[in-house]
């Protein structure tokens, strides 16, 4: 076999391998985008539920305007459009969702102190629906995180990183269950009356 035939064969092999890697990369990115779409569909159900909760809350929780306004502002923020292929925008979007989830959780917690609100039919229905919506969001998050894990592995491992850089595919952020500030360590001393600083 002549040398130029060998070179041609190697070149074809490299090109073929590179193309296969590229196809796999695009498939994984599309899977991650599909999963992100599923997450958004489930999050939209949460957004749709917020006005009902706020209507009931405004009637009974006149002294908790801050909490209500924060939920209102965060709902408006999470409904801003974003580019699903831009990891930074996706990260900000998911963080805003985390913040909304936290604020809603706090609102529900505060609502416990208002027996009239707690026993109102709107609130009872909203809480039941919320539990269902949150389970769906958790399932969609698992789908998204699995797809992102597959994509990120392909993007970060060489020569995937090279091909990804060439075609502009970037790693996407995971959808974390808590807001970043909830990751801080807990200082048991503070709870036991000993003061102290949060760890971490």
**Which residues have a Cβ under 8 Å from the Cβ of 128 and sit 6 or more positions away?**
none
> The tokens of 19 are what?
């193309």
The residue among 159, 169, 161, 171 whose CA lies nearest residue 15 is 159
We find the least distance from the C-beta atom of residue 31 to other proteins, in angstroms, to be: 9
Which structure tokens are listed for 193?
């009356």
135 binds other proteins (CB under 8 A): yes
CB-based contacts of 63: which residues, under 8 Å, 6+ apart? none
At 196, list the tokens.
């102290």
Q: Which is nearer to other proteins, 18 or 173 (CB)?
A: 173
Identify the residue among 25, 28, 42, 154 touching other proteins (CB under 8 A). Answer: 42
What does the block give as tokens for 7?
Answer: 């070179």
Nearer to other proteins, 61 or 137 (CB): 137
Residue placing its CB nearer to other proteins in the complex, 48 or 88: 48
61 vs 148, beta carbon nearer other proteins: 148
x/- letters, 142..181, toward other proteins (CB under 8 A): xx-xx---x-------------------------------
The answer to whether residue 140 forms part of the interface with other proteins (CB under 8 A) is yes
Query: What is the number of helices (H) and of strands (E) in the chain?
Result: 7, 0
Out of 72, 120, 136, 161, name the contact with other proteins by CB under 8 A: 136
Q: Which is nearer to other proteins, 114 or 144 (CB)?
A: 144
Handedness of CA 17, 23, 26, 31 (dihedral sign): negative
Residue 125 engages other proteins in binding (rule: CB under 8 A): no
Q: Assess contact for 18 and 163: CB atoms under 8 A.
A: yes
Q: Which residues of this protein are in contact with other proteins, per CB under 8 A?
A: 34-35, 38, 42, 128, 131-132, 134-136, 138-140, 142-143, 145-146, 150
């Amino acid at each position: 076999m002549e040398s130029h035939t060998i070179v041609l064969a190697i070149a074809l092999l490299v090109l073929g391998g590179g193309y296969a890697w590229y196809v796999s990369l695009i498939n994984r990115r599309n899977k991650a985008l599909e999963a992100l779409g599923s997450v958004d569909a489930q999050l939209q159900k949460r957004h749709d539920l917020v006005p009902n909760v706020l209507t009931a809350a405004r009637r009974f929780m006149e002294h908790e305007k801050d909490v209500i306004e924060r939920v209102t502002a965060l709902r408006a923020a999470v409904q801003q459009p974003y580019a699903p292929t831009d990891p930074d925008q996706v990260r900000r979007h998911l963080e805003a969702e985390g913040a909304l989830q936290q604020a809603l959780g706090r609102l529900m917690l505060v609502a416990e102190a208002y027996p009239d609100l707690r026993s109102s039919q709107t609130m009872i229905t909203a809480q039941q629906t919320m539990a269902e919506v949150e389970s769906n969001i958790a399932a969609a998050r698992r789908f998204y995180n699995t797809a992102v894990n597959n994509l990120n592995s392909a993007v970060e491992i060489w020569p995937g990183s090279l091909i990804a850089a060439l075609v502009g595919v970037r790693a996407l952020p995971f959808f974390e269950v808590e807001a970043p500030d909830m990751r801080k360590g807990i200082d048991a001393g503070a709870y036991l009356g000993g003061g102290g600083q949060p760890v971490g």
